[in-house]
């Protein structure tokens, strides 16, 4: 039992034990090499200073160590002075070295206190973020059932209402409940975006996904177009990608009218697959381009609210893109439309040639284009 305690003590304090042996060796050297005692003397003080910087002992341990070193080195210098091999002035180095050690201790303690405070604040912030994430998840889960029940009743009233005014009011209620359901679902996705199990990856062929997305949205009164589509396969979560695409198209629909066009295209640039959603709508003001992907950001608050926007669609796109180690970019001209690019790493690290047999070049920077992530 005692042997185990000694082993544990040695494993914990081996560096202090090694320094103690080194200090004793130098104390002996101070006596043996009297005329050169300043060399081992400084070795002792420099080594204890370095050791403290590495360990940063508690105040009581530091005070005891300082007292022992001062007494030991001072006593051995006085012995050399008494032997006549050193002048008495050498003794003044003891308080001088002690003062330098105390100054270093003061700076080290200040730094340690600052680091402890920083760690405390960081841990508090992490705990707060975790509580916020859990609250959003719990709230989103709890909202699903009452929203679904209320939506079902509102739609039933709308279908069976004999009064036109009652039917319109029920339609408004249903639209707002749909909006609340989208909000709760997107909050749930955003809260889980940084969780390790957020994505369930598999090889996804983007070309049929783009074609199917255009087909699903085609009943919406817009001029839909399918641009050039290259073959591109990504290692991704199909459901999350579908959410991101729907959010981009929903954003395009909000900022366009029936006479405007919305085009989807797919290309390969270097080792990235690029999905582009382009519209000829109202565009985005330049002063909000740099925050358009923030949560609850709106390019035109009044307009988006009237059309049922919740300000989470584009932040959802960014979260999903970054979870796939990709990014999302936008370029827009006010009054002429916007173009969003969802960039995802290709499944193969090898850059495959495009349909013309020429390797795709990395994307060039476009003026007004803002990378996110």
Gap between the Cα atoms of 176 and 194, Å rounded: 29
* pLDDT tens readout for residues 346-357: 986 434 444 333
What does the pLDDT average to over 148-170?
A: 87
What is d(CA 317, CA 142) in angstroms, rounded to the nearest whole number?
24
d(CA 331, CA 337): 9
Q: In sequence order, which residues have a C-beta less than 8 Å from that of residue 328 and are 6 or more positions away?
A: 293, 314, 317, 318, 321, 340, 341, 342, 343, 372, 373
Q: pLDDT: is 249 or 360 the higher one?
A: 249
- For strand 370-372 and strand 223-229, is the pairing parallel, antiparallel, or unpaired? unpaired
pLDDT confidence of residue 192: 77
Two structure tokens written together for 104: 């270093």
| Residue 202, strand partner residues | 236
* pLDDT given for residue 242 in this prediction: 93
CB–CB of 34/24 below 8 Å? no
| Six token digits for residue 342 | 């969802």
Give the span between the Cα atoms of 305 and 40, in whole angstroms: 78
202-372 CATH = 3.30.565.10
SS (H, E, C) the chain: CHHHHHHHHHHHHHHHHHHHHHHHHHHHHHHHCHHHCHHHHHHHHHHHHHHHHHHCCCHHHHHHHHHHHHHHHHHHHHHHHHHCCCCHHHHHHHHHHHHHHHHHHHHHHHHHHHHHHHHHHHHHHHHHHHHHHHHHHHHHHHHHHHHHHHHHHHHHHHHHCCCHHHHHHHHHHHHHHHHHHHHHHHHHHHHCCCCCCCCCCEEEEHHHHHHHHHHHHCCCCCEEEEEEECCCEEEECHHHHHHHHHHHHHHHHHCCCCCCEEEEEEEEECCEEEEEEEECCCCCCHHHHHHCCCCCCCCCHHHHHHCCCCCCHHHHHHHHHHHCCCEEEEEEECCCEEEEEEEEEECCCCCCECCCCCECCCCCCCCCCEEEC
How does pLDDT run across 90-118, given as a tens digit for each residue? 888 889 889 988 988 888 888 888 988 99
Percentage of the chain lying above the pLDDT 70 cut? 88
Give the predicted TM-score (pTM) of the model: 0.57
Answer for the pair 188, 137: CB distance below 8 angstroms, yes or no.
Answer: yes
Select the more confidently predicted residue: 129 or 337.
337
- Tokens standing for residue 326: 């990709």
Per-residue pLDDT at 160: 86
Confidence of residue 311 (pLDDT cuts 50, 70, 90): low
Please name which of 156, 151, 157 lies closest in space to residue 177, comparing C-alpha atoms. Answer: 151
Pairing mode, strands 261-269 and 223-229: parallel
Lowest mean pLDDT among 187-191, 237-241, 296-300, 367-371: 367-371
Mean pLDDT of 157-184: 86
Band (pLDDT 50/70/90 cuts) for residue 342 is very high
The predicted pLDDT at position 300 comes to 52
pLDDT, tens digit (0-9, with 9 covering 90-100), for 79-93: 888 888 888 888 888
Domain boundaries along the sequence of the chain: 202-372
Q: Count of CB atoms within 10 A of residue 117's CB?
A: 10
Which pLDDT band holds residue 313 (cuts at 50, 70, 90)? confident
Q: Sorting pLDDT into bands at 50, 70 and 90, what band is 318? A: very high
Backbone dihedral region of 202: left (phi > 0), alpha (psi from -120 to 50 degrees) or beta?
Answer: beta
Using alpha carbons, list the distances in angstroms from residue 67 to 21, 60, 91.
17, 11, 15
Phi then psi for 25, rounded to 5 degrees? -60, -40
| pLDDT score at 289 | 84
pLDDT for residue 225 is more than 50:
yes
The confidence score (pLDDT) of residue 307 equals 47
């Amino acid at each position: 039992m005692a042997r185990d305690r000694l082993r544990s003590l040695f494993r914990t304090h081996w560096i202090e034990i090694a320094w103690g042996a080194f200090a004793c060796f130098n104390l002996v050297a101070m006596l043996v090499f009297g005329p050169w005692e300043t060399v081992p003397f400084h070795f002792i003080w420099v080594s204890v200073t370095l050791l403290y910087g590495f360990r940063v002992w508690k105040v009581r341990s530091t005070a005891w160590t300082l007292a022992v070193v001062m007494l030991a080195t001072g006593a051995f210098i006085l012995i050399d002075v008494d032997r006549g091999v050193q002048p008495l002035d050498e003794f003044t180095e003891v308080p001088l070295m002690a003062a330098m050690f105390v100054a270093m201790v003061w700076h080290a303690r200040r730094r340690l206190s600052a680091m402890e405070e920083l760690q405390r604040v960081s841990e508090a912030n992490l705990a707060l973020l975790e509580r916020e994430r859990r609250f959003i998840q719990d709230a989103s889960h709890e909202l699903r059932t009452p929203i679904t029940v209320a939506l079902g009743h509102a739609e039933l009233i709308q279908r069976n209402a004999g009064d036109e005014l009652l039917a319109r009011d029920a339609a408004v209620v249903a639209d707002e409940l749909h909006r609340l359901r989208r909000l709760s679902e997107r909050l749930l996705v955003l809260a889980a975006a940084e969780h390790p199990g957020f994505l369930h990856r598999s090889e996804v062929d983007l070309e049929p996904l783009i074609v199917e997305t255009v087909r699903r949205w085609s009943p919406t009164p817009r001029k839909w177009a399918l641009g050039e589509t290259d073959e591109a396969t990504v290692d991704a979560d199909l459901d999350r990608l579908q959410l991101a695409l729907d959010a981009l198209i929903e954003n395009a629909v909000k900022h366009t009218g029936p006479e405007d066009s919305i085009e989807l295209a797919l290309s390969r640039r270097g080792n990235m697959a690029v999905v582009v959603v382009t519209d000829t709508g109202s565009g985005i003001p330049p002063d909000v381009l740099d925050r358009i992907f923030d949560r609850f950001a709106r390019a035109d608050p009044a307009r988006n609210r009237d059309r049922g926007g919740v300000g989470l669609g584009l932040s959802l796109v960014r979260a999903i893109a970054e979870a796939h180690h990709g990014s999302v970019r936008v370029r827009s001209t006010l009054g002429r439309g916007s173009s969003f690019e969802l960039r995802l790493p290709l499944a193969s690290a090898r850059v495959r040639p495009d349909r013309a047999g020429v390797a795709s070049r990395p994307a060039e920077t476009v003026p007004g284009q803002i990378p996110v992530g």
